[in-house]
Amino acid sequence: EAGVAQSPRYKIIEKRQSVAFWCNPISGHATLYWYQQILGQGPKLLIQFQNNGVVDDSQLPKDRFSAERLKGVDSTLKIQPAKLEDSAVYLCASSLRQGYPGRGEQFFGPGTRLTVL
Amino acid sequence: GQQLNQSPQSMFIQEGEDVSMNCTSSSIFNTWLWYKQDPGEGPVLLIALYKAGELTSNGRLTAQFGITRKDSFLNISASIPSDVGIYFCAGLTSSGNTGKLIFGQGTTLQVKP
């Protein structure tokens, strides 16, 4: 079974530029998550989709970050404009269903390492 | 917001030694998960715990879901060089029909051959 796919793996941009990340979840997984992982910290949830609807975007900086999952499969996360503090690894994860009720183990992709100069 | 306190922050051990790390929180969680992250990769799920008091093993790994539902520990027995990496605990909260995963800060493990 193929895992969660992400691209690109690395991206270097200058502040105030725009950037987009792509994620393709495990086939059949209804729930998709985007996390931000700053160096030395655990992943922090940015946004959670159930099919193509947003379940939780409470920690997404909506003035500069946006995400969509139009057909309920793959997803794009965009930052516009980027700031220095956005330098981090952006992880995509998917699960069969939402975390509760039932077993909502999340499976992660390799991540995109973003450097903002 | 909810936070997980994971300790120790880092460990440097000799190959063959046993390792123990834990995670505590002021909040109750319904599920505890333990992940391992290698450099340049995403976290990989090691063990999932669903019931308070549950003790689960996966090879040389053993994890327990605390009775109070506010803590969990992970043990690695007879460590080997490939155990090197960052180990994260994560607690799953629930609100209605949704769930949110909260991660600890990670424990960096280094194993000396």
- Residue pLDDT, tens place only, A77-102: 999 999 999 999 999 999 886 544 44
Closest among B63, B58, B75 to B32, alpha carbons compared: B63
Closest among A34, A22, A33, A24 to A2, alpha carbons compared: A24
Nearest to B97 among A100, A106, A110 (CB): A100
Q: Contacts of residue A45 in chain B, CB cutoff 8 Å?
A: 100-101
Is pLDDT of B94 > 80?
Answer: no
User: Is the separation of the CB atoms in A97 and A31 below 8 Å?
Assistant: yes
CA distances from A80 to A12, A86, B37, B54 (A): 14, 11, 29, 45
Cβ–Cβ below 8 Å for A103 and B30: no
Q: For residue A13, what pLDDT is reported?
A: 97
Separation between Cα atoms, residue A3 and residue A8, nearest integer Å: 15
Q: Within an 8 Å CB–CB cutoff, is residue A20 touching chain B?
A: no
Is pLDDT of B96 > 80?
Answer: no
User: Is the separation of the CB atoms in A87 and A116 below 8 Å?
Assistant: yes
Q: Within an 8 Å CB–CB cutoff, is residue B113 touching chain A?
A: no
Nearest to A42 among B50, B93, B106 (CB): B106
Is pLDDT of A15 > 80?
Answer: yes
For residue B33, count CB atoms less than 10 angstroms from its CB and return exposed for 0-12, middle for 13-18, buried for 19 or more.
Answer: buried
- Contact partners, residue A73, CB within 8 Å, separation at least 6: A24, A25
Summarised one tens digit per residue, pLDDT across range B11-66 is: 999 999 999 999 999 999 988 999 999 998 999 999 999 899 999 999 999 999 99
